[in-house]
């Protein structure tokens, strides 16, 4: 069998090249001067690895293909003025993750230097009509742009790295610090946006005792578990504060391809008298431990080895550990894995290049019609099924829209990930369709084919006990989750008054005595949405108009008028959508035309020199009020005047 999987996937920088670049830079950049008083013997001077490409390929940009995503410009919102930060205080601003699951993002400032920890991306709320996804509101950071020189990223999940392509140009390309796999996933995102060449990148390694001197900050990455390799927590030190961000984490002592969390290092960091711990609250109400990935691998292998026909496994492309388990099981059962979905193909490519996914090159192939020539019991189709957009791989298969795969009796479909909250109905419909087509479904109900990637209560206790913080801030969770996490912290030894339940936009100041207090001022952070190539706020008039159209339909009335006399020329034209039922449409149109004509003529008579804009407003209001009274419906009326 030929292996055409990697043939058309170029990789312009191999890992070896990276190491070489880093090695060269290490030799050239021995500037590790400590910027703060160093009273820790364990602090190592960290080599600073920098890979900076100066050139910006104008030609590439001019050949820009519209189908490729362009960088967007962040909306110019009215900047909010932050209260002044006192000299030698440390300030933390919770940008996201303190009112919901996900959205982890934080800003740390000491005097005139700012470091950002993670950013986020999330599905739009149902009210954000037309939006593809939401981004953090960093408008308050734009005036501080010159102070922001660094971003540290904990892990490579899409919701933690996608935002970079929108935010980096706005913030002037701060240097990104992240572990190896995360950087490679970021690379792909930035390449898609044509800004990779401008990015400044430092590859970190949680397995080495590096403490990076990043301006005034000292930063150290430590290994945790999540559901993607190289997930890290971060220790951040300023001259008057020592902080630990766990962000998304769990402890998994038998992860699929990752190493277990580095408990020794976490304990060692905890011995530095940590002032504040910000930690993942998602599973605060779940007792005991989160199930290990090893169990999931066993169950998946059981299904794969006992199934006769084609197997279609749907999971998230970022679950590289899970993907590796499936590929490994395919090899043991002599099946070939066909990858469906661009992100699935890309992530497997990256996983293989970095050595996270190990397999015979012939085991994995891009999904093509070649699958038809293989026996059913020799294939696995590994597909995306993100509910992000309706044209995900599995969706298209279920609704008969996939160009290659038609679901048929004898197929087995394994859903090896959780529906994203809010998309449960979408998933139920999908499952119904698959069953109607004759597929056998395997879901996590009653089967260990998916596990959470967040810590349950006992793991949260271990983290708090190892870090031993004076202050604690539950993060990444709805309020009830963070309250449960607070209770857990208090049940250990943290005092009630030292636990902060904050909101997004909260401002936390740490004084020179290392005391923490919540500022009375709170930022008002907008919902920022991306709608195609436009970034704006969810309260934009366009979104409101869409909401109104959805709720109350549309009436377009066209007036043809004489340019000089303003007299109406001929009958009005009318188009309505969703307003009238078939047997009433004629009558309703007649009423609208009559009312609109009267409104126009009366207004022109009363105010002959009225501006067109004002005239339209009056007609719109008149007709809308009339319809609300006459037929108890409230459509959006759009008058349009054509002068001839």
| Cα–Cα distance measured from residue 87 to residue 397, given in angstroms and rounded to the nearest whole number | 60
From CA 247, how far away is CA 283, in angstroms rounded?
A: 13
DSSP string, 321-345: HHHHHHHHHHHHTT-EEEEESHHHH
Alpha carbons within 13 A on the beta-carbon side of 9 = 19
Rounded distance between C-alpha atoms, residue 174 and residue 198, angstroms: 10
468 CB contacts (<8 Å, ≥6 apart)? 270, 271, 274
Binding Zn ion (rule: CB under 5 A), the pick from 248, 275, 280, 531 is: 248
Site string for Zn ion, 383-422 (x = CB under 5 A): ----------------------------------------
Stretch that binds Zn ion, among 9-17, 23-31, 243-251, 293-301 (CB under 5 A): 243-251
For Zn ion, the closer CB: 118 or 527: 118
**Binding region for Zn ion (CB under 5 A) out of 240-248, 284-292, 520-528, 621-629:** 240-248
Of residues 57-86, those binding Zn ion (CB under 5 A): none
How big is the site for Zn ion, counted in residues (CB under 5 A)?
2
Q: Which CB atom, from 157 or from 165, has the smaller least distance to Zn ion?
A: 157
- Shortest distance, position 453 Cβ to Zn ion, whole Å: 6
Q: Is 250 in the site for Zn ion (CB under 5 A)?
A: no
Say if residues 398 and 433 touch (Cβ distance below 8 Å): yes
- Cβ closest to Zn ion, residue 5 vs residue 120: 120
Minimum distance, C-beta of residue 155 to Zn ion, in the bound complex (Å) = 6
> Residue 227 or 336: which CB sits closer to Zn ion?
227
- Among residues 248 and 252, whose Cβ is nearest to Zn ion? 248
Minimal distance in Å, beta carbon 206 to Zn ion? 16
> 157 vs 366, which CB is nearer to Zn ion?
157
Grouping H, G, I as helix, E, B as strand and the rest as coil, residue 75 is: coil
Q: Of 197-205, 245-253, 361-369, 385-393, which part binds Zn ion (CB under 5 A)?
A: 245-253
The vertex-473 CA angle with 223 and 459, nearest 5°, equals: 45
Least spacing, CB of residue 249 vs Zn ion, in Å: 9
Contacts (CB under 5 A) with Zn ion, residues 118-157: 157
| Minimum CB distance to Zn ion, residue 178 (Å) | 13
CB of 317 to Zn ion, least distance (A): 13
Q: 248 vs 299, which CB is nearer to Zn ion?
A: 248
Judged by beta carbon, residue 149 or residue 157, the one nearer Zn ion is 157
Nearer to Zn ion, 102 or 536 (CB): 102
What is the C-alpha separation between 180 and 72, in angstroms, rounded?
A: 26
* Cα(618)–Cα(612) distance, integer angstroms: 10
Cβ atoms of 77 and 63 within 8 Å: the answer is: no
Return the number of the residue (248 or 258) whose C-beta is nearest Zn ion: 248
The footprint of Zn ion on residues 150-169 (CB under 5 A) is 157
Q: Which C-beta is closer to Zn ion: that of 248 or that of 275?
A: 248
Query: In this structure, what DSSP letter does residue 35 have?
Result: -
> Minimum CB separation from Zn ion for residue 226, in Å?
5
Closer to Zn ion by Cβ: residue 230 or 248: 248
As measured in angstroms, the least distance from the Cβ of 248 to Zn ion is 4
Minimum CB separation of residue 361 from Zn ion in Å reads: 30
Q: Which residues of 206-245 are buried (b: 16+ CB within 10 A; e: fewer)?
A: beeebbbbbbbbbbbbbbbbbbbbbbbbbbbbbbbbbbbb
CB of residue 211 to Zn ion, shortest distance in Å: 24
The H helix count followed by the E strand count for the chain is: 16, 27
The least CB distance from residue 228 to Zn ion, in Å, is 7
Burial label, 576 (beta-carbon count in 10 A; 0-12, 13-18, 19+): middle
Contact window for Zn ion (CB under 5 A) among 204-212, 244-252, 279-287, 588-596: 244-252
Site string for Zn ion, 199-238 (x = CB under 5 A): ----------------------------------------
Residue 627's H or E segment, with its range, is helix 612-630
In the complex, minimum distance from the CB of residue 482 to Zn ion, in angstroms, rounded to a whole number? 17
Question: Which residue blocks in 76-196 are alpha helix, DSSP H?
Answer: 158-161, 164-171, 180-192
CA distance 158 to 386: 11
Q: Minimum distance from CB of 385 to Zn ion (Å)? A: 18
The residue among 283, 381, 311, 298 whose CA lies nearest residue 339 is 381
Residues 444, 446: Cα–Cα separation, whole Å: 6
x/- mask, Zn ion, residues 523-562, rule CB under 5 A, reads: ----------------------------------------
First to last CA, the chain: 70
What is the token pair recorded at 584? Answer: 């009433």
Q: For Zn ion, which is the closer residue by CB, 158 or 327?
A: 158
Nearer to Zn ion, 157 or 402 (CB): 157
The least CB distance from residue 101 to Zn ion, in Å, is 10
Q: Which two tokens stand for residue 210?
A: 């590096």
Compute the Cα dihedral for 179, 180, 185, 190 and give only its sign: positive
Alpha-carbon distance values, 535 to 75, 193, 524 (Å): 6, 14, 18
Length of the chain: 644
Residue 298, token pair as written in the block:
């066993």
CB closer to Zn ion out of 237 and 248: 248
Q: Look at residue 23 and give its three-state secondary structure.
A: helix
Q: For the sheet containing 379-383, what is the strand order?
A: 364-366, 336-340, 379-383, 311-314, 412-415, 440-442
Judged by CB under 5 A, the stretch of 130-138, 199-207, 241-249, 459-467 that binds Zn ion is 241-249
Supply the minimum distance, in Å, between the C-beta of residue 451 and Zn ion.
14
> In the complex, which residues of this chain contact Zn ion (CB under 5 A)?
157, 248
């Amino acid at each position: 069998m030929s292996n055409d999987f990697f043939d058309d996937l170029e990789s312009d920088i191999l890992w070896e090249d990276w190491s070489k670049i880093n090695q060269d830079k290490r030799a050239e950049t021995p500037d590790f001067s400590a910027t703060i008083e160093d009273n820790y013997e364990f602090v190592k001077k960290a080599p600073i690895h920098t890979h900076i490409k100066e050139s910006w390929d104008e030609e590439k940009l001019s050949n820009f293909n519209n189908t490729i995503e362009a960088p967007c410009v962040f909306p110019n919102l009215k900047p909010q003025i932050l209260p002044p930060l006192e000299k030698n205080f440390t300030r933390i601003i919770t940008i996201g993750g303190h009112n919901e699951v996900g959205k982890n993002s934080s800003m740390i400032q000491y005097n005139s230097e700012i470091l950002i920890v993670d950013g986020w991306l999330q599905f739009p709320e149902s009210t954000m009509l037309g939006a593809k996804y939401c981004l953090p509101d960093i408008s308050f950071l734009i005036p501080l742009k010159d102070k922001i020189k660094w971003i540290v990223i904990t892990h490579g999940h899409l919701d933690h790295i996608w935002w970079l392509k929108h935010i980096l140009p706005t913030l002037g390309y701060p240097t990104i610090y992240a572990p190896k796999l995360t950087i490679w996933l970021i690379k792909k995102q930035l390449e898609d946006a044509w800004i990779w060449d401008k990015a400044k990148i430092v590859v970190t390694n949680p397995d080495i005792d590096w403490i990076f001197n990043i301006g005034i900050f000292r930063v150290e990455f430590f290994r945790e578990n999540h559901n993607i390799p190289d997930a890290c927590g971060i220790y951040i030190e300023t001259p008057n504060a020592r902080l630990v961000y766990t962000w998304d984490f769990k402890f998994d002592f038998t992860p699929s391809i990752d190493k277990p969390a580095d408990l020794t290092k976490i304990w060692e960091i905890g011995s530095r008298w940590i002032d504040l711990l910000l930690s993942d609250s998602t599973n605060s109400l779940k007792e005991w431990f989160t199930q290990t990935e090893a169990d999931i691998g066993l169950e998946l292998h059981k299904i794969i080895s006992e199934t006769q026909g084609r197997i279609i496994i749907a999971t998230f492309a970022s679950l590289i550990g899970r993907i590796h388990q499936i590929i490994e099981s395919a090899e043991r059962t002599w099946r070939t894995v066909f990858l469906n979905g661009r992100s699935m193909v890309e992530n497997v490519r990256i996983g293989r290049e970095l050595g996270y996914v190990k397999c015979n090159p012939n085991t994995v192939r891009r999904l093509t019609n070649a699958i038809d020539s293989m026996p059913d019991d020799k294939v696995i189709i590994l597909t995306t099924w993100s509910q992000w957009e309706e044209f995900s791989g599995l969706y298209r298969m279920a609704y008969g829209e996939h160009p290659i795969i038609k679901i048929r009796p004898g197929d087995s479909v394994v859903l090896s990930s959780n529906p994203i909250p809010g998309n449960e109905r979408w998933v139920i419909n999908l499952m119904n369709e698959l069953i109607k087509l004759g597929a056998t479904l395997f879901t996590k109900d009653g089967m260990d084919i998916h596990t959470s990637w967040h810590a349950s209560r006992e793991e949260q206790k271990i983290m708090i006990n190892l870090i031993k913080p004076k202050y604690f801030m539950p993060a990444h969770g709805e309020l009830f989750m963070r309250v449960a996490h607070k209770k857990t912290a208090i049940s250990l030894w943290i005092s009630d008054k030292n636990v902060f339940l904050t909101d997004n936009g909260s401002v936390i100041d740490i004084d020179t005595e290392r005391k923490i207090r919540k500022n009375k001022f709170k930022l008002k952070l907008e919902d920022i949405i991306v709608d195609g190539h436009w970034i704006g706020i969810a309260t934009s008039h366009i979104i409101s108009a869409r909401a109104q159209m959805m709720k109350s339909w549309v009436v377009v009335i066209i007036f043809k008028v004489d340019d000089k006399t303003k007299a109406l020329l001929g009958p009005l034209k009318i188009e309505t959508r969703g307003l009238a039922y078939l047997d009433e449409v004629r009558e309703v149109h007649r009423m609208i035309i009559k009312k609109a004509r009267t409104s126009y003529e009366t207004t022109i008579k009363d105010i002959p020199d009225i501006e067109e804009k004002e005239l339209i407003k009056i007609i719109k209001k008149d007709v809308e009020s009339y319809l609300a009274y006459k037929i108890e419906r409230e459509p959006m009326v759009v008058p349009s005047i054509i002068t001839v």
